[in-house]
Amino acid sequence: MTTPYWLQDSVFYQIFPDRFSNGDTTLDPINVQKWGSAPTTWGFQGGDLRGIIQKFDYLLDLGINAIYLNPIFFSPTNHRYHISDYYIIDPRLGSLLDFHALIDLAHRNHVRIVLDGVFNHCSRGFFAFNDLLENNQHSAYKDWFHVHRFPLDAYSPGEALHYDAWWNVKAIPKFNTNNPKVRKFIFDVARYWIERGIDGWRLDVPNEINDDTFWAEFRQVVKSANRDACLIGEIWTADPRWANDTHFDGLMHYPIRDALLACLTGKDGVAGFAGTVEGMFKVYPRENIYSMYVTLGTHDTERVLTILGNNLDKLKLAFQFIFAYPGTPAIYYGDEIGLEGGKDPDSRRAFPWNPAEWKADLHPWVQNLITIRKERVSMRRGEYNRIAMDAGQGLYAFARTLGGETTLVALNFSDKNIRTALPVTTLWQDNQIVRSLLDNRTFTTTDHLIQLNLPPWSGIYLG
């Protein structure tokens, strides 16, 4: 195994720090927005590291055991993907002492912390780019970036023309990672935070550093500091280049999310969905499949409940699938209580801490799914096999099996009731009693079949 042993046993919770919880109002900027204001690309609402610490009991009660934090380093933006200093916690989030308090609290409670690594680009305020703006061709850092001509135009309206920038946005100059000094700077940053206790990196747009030797060395640096640290790459398509023992342990598993939501919204059928979720086992090695970050949404996507037309049954079914599929299931903060939102920045709304604003029984539903997954080793580490698929009815069923433990998952991706008899010859003996893990109903296998009645947009776990 070259992937961390703990990944496939994890349930991740993604936090966008400015919008999760405000624990120290003395850190707020003078123009802080009211908590819950309509999100913008420029406004801060005051979320910070102390807020996460103060709400840690909520996270433990939910059941998660890993946290992925969007960038926390010094930056002029609320999303902090424009990093000015990679060695300083953004003062609006807290201090290095607050960071260590969060790490210590997490580790005492067996929760891992993974940080967002933004190494393709920096901000205009980054020291080397500042020097370049001041000294132009005489700067010692002119080869740290991809400069086309001097003097640099970094602040007027329009796209970046004088240097390479992410999506040609002037505010985000792109590093020249072919420069050995740039590589050393990035590798030193990666090692520094691993040595200060983080449990891994989620790598932002790593495919834009299109250099296999860079990522092989990055991996070696991180793993030499902590062999159990994880590396998760933000790759939006299925591509085996990026998940292996020279790149990343797992990827943001967007193809699974896309296939699931397409099936739930009627853009594709169960056959297409089955083809994608089963096809991934032919794309990646097993250990990498079981280390994928499987989520319904992130800060870059519309809120899943909004995509599903505010249909809570569909959202529950979506959660039910990702908690049963190989990989590490992940919750984007607020999805577990039905937070809504359109495209960025609307998908980054402040967390509503008044339970009266939470959607129905969604929160306890997710809690229950997490509990079941943590109790059932087959759902975390078991083999995956299709049991049945009926494209006409919208039925899809699969089993997770490890040793003597089997979990059968049957899902109804339709707006009609499904009565079905699933073949269970390979799973259980005849006349065996199995129970629903969600509500403790019992079922008996008869003639190597199990009879099920699945209401619209619902599923069942049997074991």
Do 154 and 184 lie in one domain? The reply is no
Average pLDDT, the chain: 97
Do 281 and 312 lie in one domain? The reply is yes
Q: pLDDT tens across 433-459, in order?
A: 999 999 999 999 999 999 999 999 999
Specify if 1 maps to a domain. Answer: no
What does the pLDDT read at residue 380? 98
Q: 346, 375, 404: which is the final residue of a domain? A: 375
Instruction: Give the residues across from 13 on adjacent strands.
Output: 67, 331
Do 260 and 327 lie in one domain? The reply is yes
- Segment 240-251 shows an average pLDDT of 98
Q: pLDDT tens across 361-390, in order?
A: 999 999 999 999 999 999 999 999 999 999
Q: pLDDT tens across 41-94, in order?
A: 999 999 999 999 999 999 999 999 999 999 999 999 999 999 999 999 999 999
Specify if 49 maps to a domain. Answer: yes
Q: What span, in angstroms and rounded, lies between the C-alpha atoms of 92 and 71?
A: 12
Specify if 205 maps to a domain. Answer: yes
Q: pLDDT tens across 186-225, in order?
A: 999 999 999 999 999 999 999 999 999 999 999 999 999 9
- 171-191 as b/e, with b when 16 or more CB fall inside 10 Å? bbbbbbbeeeebbebbbebbb
Q: Which of 117, 27, 122, 23 is nearest to 69 (CA)?
A: 117
Task: Report the CATH number at residue 238.
Answer: 3.20.20.80
Do 308 and 248 lie in one domain? The reply is yes
Share of the chain above pLDDT 90, in %: 100
- Provide the terminal-to-terminal Cα distance of the chain, rounded to the nearest Å: 28
Task: Report the CATH number at residue 408.
Answer: 2.60.40.1180
- If you count DSSP H runs as helices and E runs as strands, how many of each does the chain have, helices first? 13, 18
Share of the chain above pLDDT 70, in %: 100
- Segment 319-335 shows an average pLDDT of 98
Q: What span, in angstroms and rounded, lies between the C-alpha atoms of 134 and 131?
A: 5
Specify if 64 maps to a domain. Answer: yes
Both tokens assigned to 68: 């992925």
User: Taking CA 296 as the corner, what is the angle to CA 375 and CA 283, rounded to the nearest 5 degrees?
Assistant: 85
Q: 375, 390, 416: which is the final residue of a domain? A: 375
Inter-helix orientation angle 254-264/312-322, to 10°: 150
Specify if 272 maps to a domain. Answer: yes
- Segment 11-25 shows an average pLDDT of 98
Q: Which residues are catalytic?
A: 204, 234
Q: What span, in angstroms and rounded, lies between the C-alpha atoms of 130 and 124?
A: 7
Domain that holds residue 451: 380-462
Do 363 and 299 lie in one domain? The reply is yes
What does the pLDDT read at residue 370? 98
Do 33 and 95 lie in one domain? The reply is yes
Model confidence at 6, in pLDDT bands (50, 70, 90)?
very high
Count of domains observed in the chain: 3
What does the pLDDT read at residue 230? 98
Pairing of strands 442-444, 433-435: antiparallel
Distance of CA 302 to the CA centre of its chain: 14
Q: 375, 407, 435: which is the final residue of a domain? A: 375
- Segment 3-24 shows an average pLDDT of 98
Specify if 2 maps to a domain. Answer: no
- Per-position DSSP letters for 416-427, written without gaps between them: S-EEEEEE-TTT
Do 114 and 132 lie in one domain? The reply is no
Do 148 and 188 lie in one domain? The reply is no
Do 264 and 157 lie in one domain? The reply is no
Specify if 257 maps to a domain. Answer: yes
Do 148 and 242 lie in one domain? The reply is no
Do 364 and 390 lie in one domain? The reply is no
What does the pLDDT read at residue 375? 97
Do 155 and 226 lie in one domain? The reply is no
> Whose structure tokens read 């002037």?
170
